[in-house]
Each structure stands twice: as structure tokens, then as C-alpha cells.
Amino acid sequence: MQPVLNGLVFIVDDDASVREALAWLLRTRRLLSQAFDSAEAFERMAGDPGARLGTQPACLLLDVRMPGMSGLALFERLIEWGLAEVLPVIFLTGHADVPTAVDAVKRGAFDFCEKPFSDNALVDRIEQALELSAQVLEARVQKARLQSRLTELTERERDVMRLVVEGLANKLIADQLDISVRTVEVHRARVFDKMEVKSAVELANLLR
């Protein structure tokens, strides 16, 4: 898998040697990183509008056990902020923390890696997490575009679109809406144009 060069890997670990080793490892795989020595430091950054979290592919390497706020507590904050999906979390755990990390994965964390971890295996999972982040972001963009197109439809065009998606012919749509077939044809053409589709099948797939 090719690295996601525009992706960013956040590292949150209170051990400076671990942060430095991970940053070096990521550089060797052409991945950008940003490190924090505590969950609180990451939280402050995340709360800054200038940080623009959730606008580019990213993932978070998160130590489970740290002084102050734990990695698990920070993960819960990410869930509250709606960032856990777009910012996949890979927990870095000691043996004693594995059950906690497993529970976090059940709650939506991407994965966990037990210390000491395999460099190659960890970077492979990071790249997969970045790919997932990119897919989630793209899906959100597409959803926003779809919503924008839908707002451009008139109420009558929405009525016609609903019946087109149900598979009704123009004559049946005209009968149901008590309008002429020609009017249905005009509305249907406008719906296709505004929704940027060429067929009823394409329209139905778009709205699924």
C-alpha cells in the first residue's frame, strides 16, 4: 500500500523516547507526524479552531496509561466530539493494558499495538488507518454535496423524484400527482440535471 503522503499521524505518549522513535519511524515511511507529551496537550490543540481536525486524513497513536488524563479518557472525548471515526485511534499498550485496549476497540478504536511492537506491523496499520480516514472524509464530502443538490429541488421536483426512484413510469407519476405527462417530463429532466445523473437507476443509487 502506498503511504498517504498528505496524512498526518498524531502521537500522544508521555515517554519522550517513544515519541522520538515513532516520529523517526514514520519519517522513514514518508509520513508526517506531530507529537504530544500528554492527553491534555493534544486536547488543547484539538480545541483550537486553527487545528482543523477532521479536515484531512489523520490517525492517532495513543498511549493507554499516562499521568493525568489517560488515553482511554481522551478517546472518550474524541467520541463525544464526533472525531473518532475520521481520526482512527491506534492504542499503544503495555501487556497489563491489553484488556482495556480490546474494550476500546469494541467501542470504535481502530486497533491496538502491544509494546514492544513490530515497526513494520505498526506502520502497516497506520497506513490502513489513514486510508480509512481518507475514505470517511470523502464520504462526508459526498454526503454534503448530495444534501446541497437536494436543497436545490422544488417541492414538486422532490415529489417527482420520489416516484421516479420508486420506478413509476411518467404516466403513473402524472396520475398520482394530478399533473400532465409533459409536466412530469420537465420536472424529471430538472431533477436529473440538478442531481447530476443521467438515469433513474443512477438517481436511485445516489440516494441509497
Residue with cell 472524509: 137
Q: Tell me the C-alpha to C-alpha distance, in Å, between residue 30 and each of 6, 14, 26, 56, 171.
A: 10, 24, 6, 16, 59
**Residue 21: pLDDT over 80:** yes
What domains lie within the chain, and their CATH numbers?
A: 8-141 (3.40.50.2300), 152-207 (1.10.10.10)
pLDDT confidence tier of residue 90, bands split at 50, 70 and 90:
very high
Q: Find, among 134, 193, 187, 137, the residue nearest to 164 by Cα.
A: 187
Report the side by side order of strands in the sheet with 89-93. Answer: 32-36, 8-12, 58-63, 89-93, 111-114
Three-state SS annotation for 87-131 = CCEEEEECHHHHHHHHHHHHCCCCEEEECCCCHHHHHHHHHHHHH
pTM above 0.85, yes or no: no
Q: Tell me the C-alpha to C-alpha distance, in Å, between residue 22 and each of 28, 117, 163, 191, 208.
A: 10, 11, 55, 51, 41
Please say whether the beta carbons of 62 and 9 come within 8 A. no
pLDDT at site 186: 93
pLDDT tens digits along 38-85: 999 999 998 877 677 878 899 999 999 999 999 999 999 999 988 888
